[in-house]
Structure 1
Amino acid sequence: MSSGVTLTAATRQNLLSLQGTADLLSSTQNRLSTGKKVNSALDSPVSFFTSQALTNRSSDLGGLLDSISNGVQTIQAANQGITSIQKLVDSAKSTASQALSTKSTATGASATSAVATAAASLTSSTATAAAGAGGGTGAAADGTHNFSGSHSSVFVVKDGTNAETTITLNAANFGNTVSDLTKVSAGEILTQINSQLTAAGGNGAQVQASLTTDGRLNFTSTATGSDSKVTITTGAVPGDTDIGFGTTASAATVATGVDPTDGSTKARATGTAVAALGGAGVAGATSGITVQLGNSPAKTLTFTGTGQTGAQLVTQINDQIAADVGLKGKLTASVTNNQLTIRSTDSGPEQKVTVKSIGATDIGFGTGTSSAPSTGVTASGTGSTSANGTNARTALAQQFNELLTQITQQAQDSSYNGVNLLYRAGSDAKENTLHLSFNEKDTSSLDIKGVKFDATGLGLQSVSGGFASDDDIKASLTQLTNASAALRTQSSTFGSNLTVVQNRQDFSKQLINILDTGSANLTNADLNEEAANSQALSTRQSIGISALSLANTAQQGILQLLR
């Protein structure tokens, strides 16, 4: 027989009600203690996982905010650097202007570089070429060039020492430095050309490229005077894109520099006449010389072979000079009337050449050994300015050069957190490009391209002639004016970039707040509501207990009758 306890319907109903009230009260107390109405996926899967996704994105954007903040500081550091460099440029202008007003008796012009200029404009849509490998093409209607696919331009640049650099413009070399290979601008072409000229180093042509006001390419030798030369020829496979020199094999474009007309001369170290230089030749196997330019270390030049004529010795000397980075383009050798001469390519009183013999065979500079060289010959260049004018201008030129050094150092010091938007050691723009990500997937970003704003990057050349002529000073003033324009343009660019970055910084902060608020709305409990619920449930529980007591009253009455 069953011995279970039998409860009345009223009692069971009250028990169920009390159990439900207890469960609700427990849930309410949990929400009050945690502050959340969704504590796990069991409470509400949709709300829990949606809230988690919002929180995760907020956390990712919060991490990016540090990078964006560093980006703001990097731009501000670069902008401050530009401001300081501009002050130095203004000071250099003042120095050059003061030199210009200083009285000097120099007349005429200083030596000029060789400048080879393209016949056709790089930016003009009318530039066309004869049919080349792929049917020659010039600039498009908007002045850009197409270097996508197999389109290319190849040409050779040679300087006065016959050192040459092959320039190849194609999709592979432009790489990621341009945004659209079908529309490469003149500025981007110029940057790539100078990049390849710089990369060739001392063994390549000592030439720099620039653009004329009408958009034509200029190639200027770093050397000056009649020894300087620039030769442009098309490559073995010229390519099909014309940038001003054509796309088919044609006559070379050649330009030669001009010697000064201000009375300054070159330093010429000339040996005594040696009859064998013009006849049977000297015993080259035991001959050699040291050559010193200015106060720089002396360089040793040795000769091979026997029975070397003057012309053969000159070839060996010039080949070794061209192979030496310190002497290349600065010295040249020649022989006249059986006399060997080694002279500077630049003019002026600061030029000095010293030649000594370290060989047993005399080629005009005596005989000697490596440990005991001959007395040799020392020669200096001359200038034509008066003593007072020379001293004043030379002092100002030295001050000018020191300011250029400060400009370079200022650019090198304008870095923040390892990123310097004003200086890079090489020519690759990626070297100092600042990449900022604005979202967690990096699908929204900004690349801030840095510049090379040291003295060289700004096109400022140090003064080697002591501001001997007014033309030298005016050339420096022109360079400074162009540098100021470049600084102002870049400052405007950085200002625009800073506005974009600060706008994204504010946007990210607001978006993080929105994401956090949205996540909280899905999971946070309303504590006022839960407190009211807790009080109501407590009251309901008390009433339930009282109701259960009343339901048991009838059974207690029957118990009294049995007694």
Structure 2
Amino acid sequence: MSDIALSASMRSNLQSLQATADLMDRTSQRLSTQKSVNSVTDDAVKFFTAKNLTARADRLDTVKSGIANALSAIETANTGISSIRDTLSSMDAVITQARNLVGLTDANSNAQRQDLVTQYNTLRSQINNIVDDSSYNGVNFLKSATALTVAFNETSSTSLTVNGFAGAADNLGTGSSTGGTASTTTNANGSVSTSLGSVGTVATGTGALGSSTTTATFGNIVVTSTPDADGGAGGTYSVTDGTNTYTIGNGDTYTFGTGAGTITVSAAANLDAANAAITVTYQEGASADANLDDTVSFNVDTGVVTSTLKNGAGASTAIVHTPGAAPTSAITVTGAGGTIGGGTGVVALATAGSTGAALDTTAELDALATKMTSARSYLTLNESKLAGNVSTLSNRQDYLSDLMATLSAGADDLTKADVNEEGANMLALQTRQQLGMTSLSLASQALQGVLRLF
């Protein structure tokens, strides 16, 4: 304070004690944090360099978390694949049981066979349930639309894209849609619907088709015909594959699938010509056999729709849907499941409305067993692709762990304190403080001598 006078020696000792206290505070902080650089005032270069190294390590930790997420999603998919494989084994068991009933036509055998069909289809539906449940943190590699890009560094300049595959029952092979034997039905309003979903009834149509819309459904392929009042090219005709819709014009031909199960939609060269038609050709079964080529023909001039169904032996039945005519006949088509759209997907067996049970011939059972084998091969192929990604991701994860450790060690080397040295400094400072206190005491004694005069 300005109104208190200190001797030069006392002020010098006091300043020395203050400096010693500051050094003791700094040393104490270094001992507690084990860092020699705790703020920018300690060493600006080391402080900011260490901060940048630590920040990069933190960013890489986020990248590492993304890789761990991808690995967990792949592991979840592999668990789903194993479960699907077990389900296929159960379906194989159903096929084996059905072989014991081949050639038996009594009521009890038919009932057992129908029960096996139900079991088979229930197991098949479980495959789709497994696929839907094989999701991890929003990522499902058992669905074909899934493509996860995994960053390998903090700028995402290097990455790996992990692609999923279609693991649903319809896709365990290369097939895109499945169903049973073909059936065609006519609704009360005269519109005609053809499907490959199950065994059904074929009947003649009623009512005037005129400019009404007629649709034919073949799995995921839908053909729509809306002729104008006078027929011909003035109408609207299209085909959709579930994703894209294509307009059908003069002479157009659209083909869906390859090999067995191919669906072809073709239009007459001139839709304004007399009796011009749009014809859909499809197959009931799983083999590329011309004897199984059924057709649905839309006469855009007269409105007549003709369904021609073959029995596999070359014989056929033509059902004509005439505008305005009352229903005059009906037949029931029976048989086992087939695949349309090409490929060897795991098919659903036909049951609804059948007069004879499915799974009743060795040929049908052999075809299903082949599909099981194809499905397993398909799973194994895609499982190996996922496994290849696991190796790459795991290696990158290990590399990032090592890199993060190096960055953290570098930051520590720049800022860490030598605990032994700082401990020795603290002892020296404590000694200096004690000596300073003694010196300050001695300096004050000189002033105390004045008191002896009184």
In structure 2, the partner of 1:410 is 130
Task: Rate the CA distance shift 1:554–1:399 in 2: closer, same or farther, 3 A.
Answer: closer
Render the CA deviation track for 1:460-492: whole Å, top value 9, x for unaligned: 112237124322222111111010111122223
**1:96-135 → structure 2 map (5 Å cutoff):** 96-104=95-103
**Where does residue 315 of structure 1 map in the other structure?**
none
For normalisation by structure 2, the TM-score amounts to: 0.50
Structure 2 CA distance for aligned equivalents of residues 406 and 452 of structure 1: 15
Q: CA–CA distance in 2 between the matches of 1:415 and 1:500?
A: 21
Instruction: Summarize the Cα distance change of 1:423–1:23 in structure 2 as closer, same or farther, 3 Å threshold.
Output: closer
Q: 1:389, 1:554 → 2: CA distance?
A: 125
Quote how far apart the aligned CAs of 1:396 are: 2.8
Contact between 2:127 and 2:169, CA under 8 Å: does it hold in 1? yes
Identify the residue that residue 397 of structure 1 maps to in structure 2. 117
**1 CA distance for matches of 2:387 and 2:421?**
51
Distance 1:29 1:90, change over 3 A: closer
Paired with 2:100 and 2:397, the residues of 1 have a C-alpha distance of 51
Counterpart of 2:233 in structure 1 is none
Task: Kindly indicate whether the alpha-carbon contact (under 8 Å) linking 2:102 and 2:362 is maintained by their aligned counterparts in 1.
Answer: no
User: Is 1:447 paired with 2:155?
Assistant: no
1:484 aligns with 2:376: yes
5 Å-filtered alignment, 1:287-326, equals none
CA distance in 1, matches of 2:369, 2:403: 51
CA gap of 1:31–1:388, structure 2 versus 1, over 3 A, is closer
- Determine the C-alpha separation between the residues in 2 that align with 1:103 and 1:20: 103
TM-score normalised over the length of structure 1: 0.41
Q: In structure 2, what is the equivalent of residue 472 of structure 1? A: 364
Deviations 1:411-462 (A, max 9, x none): 22211222211135xxxxxx31233223222233322211111111101112
The one of 375, 380, 385 aligned to 1:493: 385
Query: 1:389 deviation in Å?
Result: 5.8
Length, aligned pairs only: 273
- Distance, in Å, in 1 between the alignment partners of 2:395 and 2:94 is 42
Cα shift at 1:34 = 4.7
Aligned to 2:421, the other structure's residue is in SS state helix
Report the counterpart of residue 315 of structure 2 in structure 1.
none
Distance change >3 Å, CA 96–CA 553, structure 1 → 2: closer
Q: For residue 73 of structure 2, what is the aligned residue in structure 1?
A: 74
Query: How far apart, in 2, do the equivalents of 1:87 and 1:507 lie?
Result: 36
Give the gaps of 5 or more residues in structure 2: 1-5, 173-344, 351-356
CA shift at 1:400, angstroms? Answer: 2.1
Q: Which amino acid aligns with 2:382?
A: Q
Question: What are the Cα deviations for residues 364-420 of structure 1, in whole angstroms up to 9, with x where unaligned?
Answer: xxxxxxxxxxxxxxxxxxxxx676665544443333222211212222221122221
Query: How far does residue 82 in structure 1 lie from its aligned partner after superposition?
Result: 0.7
Say if 1:547 and 1:98 are closer, same or farther in 2 by CA, change over 3 A: same
Q: Which residues in structure 2 correspond to 1:266-305 (within 5 Å)?
A: none
**Structure 1, gaps ≥5 residues long:** 1-6, 106-384, 425-430
**Cα deviation, residue 17, structure 1:** 6.4
Letter in structure 2 aligned against 1:400: Y
1:58 is aligned to 2:57: yes
Output the aligned Cα RMSD: 4.0
For 2:394 and 2:443, the matched residues in 1 are separated by 72
Q: SS of 2:169's equivalent?
A: coil
Pairs within 5 Å for 1:152-231: none
Identity, in percent, stands at 40
What residue number does 2:181 align with?
none
Q: Does 1:438 pair with 2:152?
A: yes
Give the conservation status (yes or no) of the 8 Å contact 1:390–1:466: no
Report the more deviating stretch, 484-493 or 535-544: 535-544
1:461 corresponds to which residue?
347
Give the conservation status (yes or no) of the 8 Å contact 2:102–2:361. no
Equivalent pair of 1:55/1:519 in contact (CA under 8 Å)? yes
Question: Residue 160 of structure 2 aligns to a residue in which SS?
Answer: strand
Deviations 1:203-262 (A, max 9, x none): xxxxxxxxxxxxxxxxxxxxxxxxxxxxxxxxxxxxxxxxxxxxxxxxxxxxxxxxxxxx
Question: Which string of whole-angstrom CA distances, capped at 9 and with x for unpartnered residues, describes residues 258-284 of structure 1?
Answer: xxxxxxxxxxxxxxxxxxxxxxxxxxx
Is 1:523 aligned to 2:415, yes or no? yes
Shift of 1:20: 5.6
Residue type at the aligned position of 1:420? N
Mapped to 2, the partners of 1:67 and 1:437 lie a distance apart of: 7
- C-alpha displacement of 1:50: 1.3
